[in-house]
Structure 1
Amino acid sequence: MTNEHCATRTHIEVWNGRVLPDGLVSICFGTVLRGSLLPIVVWLGIAAFVYFVYNPLVAVVEGALFLISFSVGFALRRRLRHSIRCSIYGAVGGVLDKSMAGF
């Protein structure tokens, strides 16, 4: 894949599709994060809750789960020969998207 076509709507799924521009255009990392505000708030809310109510170690375990999920998503996208930029965007969007599957 060429770099100019890799970070497009067809390769990166964002949980809230309403923030994505129409058509196949490059998007920035801010757009990925803006489209994933609800999952980010859920991840941070759970981390803050368990940090203060239970133990800081539980919040570290949640962070580790996020990093493991991100690493697996990044590696799978790189294996499919996506660019590094597209792999990062897609891994972040993918983790946030899959974490909200139950809602």
Structure 2
Amino acid sequence: MPMRPEHCVTRNHIDVWHHKALPSGPGRVRLRTVLRGSLVPILVWIGVAAAAYVLHDPVVTAVLGGVFAVAFLVGFGLRRRAGHSVRCCAYGALGGVLDKSMAGL
């Protein structure tokens, strides 16, 4: 059963780092909000990629980018299969990858 458009892209579908940037109630979430709420994971991903580039080889950075892309595509595909909109899938997959990559921190 597909999602109704008014229920998509709500706080229930997007996990943002510690939920600090989300509005208090359900509502549409913009990409800027997802990115602002995910600053710590974004900085960690950029830091690890920069360290891998400087300390090892650019190929390691490319592999790391590939891992991120595969995780994003899997999350996007799972959300699309569940009937979410493309926008909800993109934001949810991005927020999910950033959130789950910081598990344990």
TM-score, normalising length: structure 2: 0.95
Which residue of the other structure, out of 63, 70, 73, is the alignment partner of 2:72? 70
Q: Distance in 1 between matches of 2:25 and 2:102?
A: 25
Which residue of the other structure, out of 22, 30, 34, is the alignment partner of 2:24? 22
Instruction: Map Cα deviations across residues 37-78 of structure 1 (whole Å, 9 max, x no partner).
Output: 000000000000010111000000000000000000000000
Q: Distance in 1 between matches of 2:9 and 2:42?
A: 21
Q: Distance in 2 between matches of 1:18 and 1:99?
A: 17
C-alpha root-mean-square deviation of aligned residues, in Å?
Answer: 0.7
Per the TM alignment, residue 16 of structure 1 is displaced from its structure 2 partner at its CA by 2.6
Q: Distance in 2 between matches of 1:76 and 1:46?
A: 27
Amino acid across the alignment from 1:71: L
Q: Distance in 2 between matches of 1:78 and 1:36?
A: 22
SS in 2 for 1:43: helix
Matched residue, 2:83: 81
Amino acid across the alignment from 1:29: L
Matched residue, 2:52: 50
Listed as ranges, the gaps of 5+ residues in structure 2 are none
Listed as ranges, the gaps of 5+ residues in structure 1 are none
